[in-house]
Amino acid sequence: MAVTRKPEWLRIDMAQGRSLDYVEDMLKKYSLNTVCVEANCPNRMECFSRKTATFMILGKECSRNCRFCNVSHGTLEEVNPKEPENLASAAVEMGLKHVVVTTVTRDDLPDGGAGHFAKVVKAIRAKDSDITIELLISDLKGDRESIKTVVDSKPEIINHNVETVPRLYKEIRPMAIYKRSLDVLRQVKEMDDTILTKSGMMMGLGETEEEVIEVMKDLRDVDCDFLTLGQYLAPSDKHYPVKEYVTPETFERYRVKAEELGFKFVASGPFVRSSYKAADAMDVVEAENQ
């Protein structure tokens, strides 16, 4: 049964400011997309006001049909060869210190878009080698060569979200496989253990606390470094319904448990999304290494 009324802790000020206009103008200038807009992220106003954004490459249309996602599923776009250079130019012009790059799933491409990711990393490095880079990738159908292409581009972080507990995959992520997602993270570490790995889950889809903890353990078993946990908010009545609004106290309990299990950085709260305040995780790791 779905729940409809949002609790007080999920009310957010959606006021638009000059910084939002600045970021949107920048995206138009370089013909770029952001997952912030396409996925209707509740934090986009805050992130844009801080002059940060998660760039989404390879178009606006996805080849999969996950029931939680607001990204559309129309005609897949041609790959824009200028996109890596445009993205790098925007990142430098915006003065970003940490760039997050994600993508729609492109099962139609032979490498799933892995080569395009690598070109983006190369373009950013060429313009500013001090920018740290986080790639939020699809499962690339589990193809080892495609994963290696991404790994060899040497981003600081490779993120791949498991999204939910395995019991709910068939209903919520019918074209994804839980074990395959874990295997992507495992292979990244096997290929280059200097790259930090990250994953995330949505809460409120009908999962139990025990199932969430089991997923945490599975992620640590493949040496996943960072974890994000946030509240699922249905983009529309046509999407998978919210089954529960998880309390801030429960999110805090999850955070404590995840840290006990050994994650280097955990972001857990109602408004947390995979890329929310993504640079904070790098700051924690850098502080530990000093």
Per-residue b or e along 149-163, where b marks 16 or more CB atoms closer than 10 Å to that residue's CB: bbbebebbbbbbbbb
Assigned domain for 1 exists: no
- Averaged pLDDT, 81-94: 93
Assigned domain for 3 exists: no
How many domains does the chain fold into?
A: 1
Domain that holds residue 157: 8-289
Assigned domain for 135 exists: yes
Assigned domain for 2 exists: no
- Averaged pLDDT, 145-153: 98
| Residue 252 clears pLDDT 60, i.e. is over it | yes
* Cα→Cα distances 80→30, 113, 131, 242, Å: 12, 11, 23, 36
pLDDT at 47 (0 to 100): 58
pLDDT at 73 (0 to 100): 62
CATH no. for residue 152? 3.20.20.70
**Cα–Cα distance between 26 and 5 in angstroms, integer?**
36
Q: Mean pLDDT highest for which of 21-25, 267-271, 277-281? A: 267-271
